[in-house]
Amino acid sequence: MILQACVNGARDVAEHPWLSADETVVAQDAAAAVDAGAAEIHVHAKDAAGRDSLAPEDVRRWLGAVRAAAPGIPVGVTTGAWAEPDVSRRLAAIESWTELPDYASVNWHEAGADEVAAALRRRGIGVEAGIWDAAGLEAWRVSPVRGACLRVLVELPAEAADVVRPHAEGLIAHVAREEPDLPILLHGEELSAWPALDLAGELGLDTRIGLEDTLLLPDGTDAPSNAALVRAARARLPRA
């Protein structure tokens, strides 16, 4: 079971002291999350104003900072359409990256997912297929690059705890039917973050936690850092 730390996401930098526009600050907390038990890092590169960016210079700076702080740890980035809505410019950005992540997430409900995934694959970057609803599932199911993905991210929106299991298990069953050997990483956000992590532990699936998905510890108190979230997650997950 892999525990990934999703350290910042698309959140506004004002939401938490560790959600900074300074890559060295976020990298410091990412390294602490690794020390606390995270095996991988998922980070959103930012521009100087703290907005998500796919620009080559921003991706280079952020990857460089995280890798310097946590050497040898796999690091992934987002390719979310909110960072660059125009598909052709998104593809051009990926082709221009000078420092390459180990993997990148692709949201299959977004326009251009097949093309983005193929561009990542051409550059030797692993593809995390993000699926959270029936439309994304169907788009991934018919994708020519479906079987070439590194893993599938079954991503649950902010929903009540009693909805998490049926929602997750439905998506998981469909993914497993299409690609039974493809690893699945299950995670939620906000209300579903901790229930989804617990379910992932029960099912023996990879999972993730971090300030991208929740600002709260399991008891509802404010999380002081990504490292604190990872420690709390480790305490809830089965021992490897």
* pLDDT tens, position by position, 189-202: 999 999 999 999 99
Positions in the chain short of pLDDT 50: none
Average pLDDT score over the chain: 97
Give the per-residue pLDDT at 67.
Answer: 98
Give the per-residue pLDDT at 152.
Answer: 98
SS3 string of 118-137? HHHHHCCCEEEEEECCHHHH
In Å, how far from its chain's centre is CA 236?
20
pTM for this entry: 0.96
Question: Could you tell me the two tokens for 60?
Answer: 């280079």
Give the per-residue pLDDT at 15.
Answer: 96
How far apart (Å, rounded) are the C-alpha atoms in residues 226 and 31? 9
Give the per-residue pLDDT at 239.
Answer: 78
Give the per-residue pLDDT at 34.
Answer: 98
CB 91 within 8 A of CB 119: yes
Alpha helices in the chain (DSSP H): 23-36, 56-69, 87-96, 113-122, 134-141, 161-178, 193-203, 226-236
- Bridge partners (DSSP) of residue 129 are 106, 152
* pLDDT tens, position by position, 115-162: 999 999 999 999 999 999 999 999 999 999 999 999 999 999 999 999
Give the per-residue pLDDT at 214.
Answer: 98
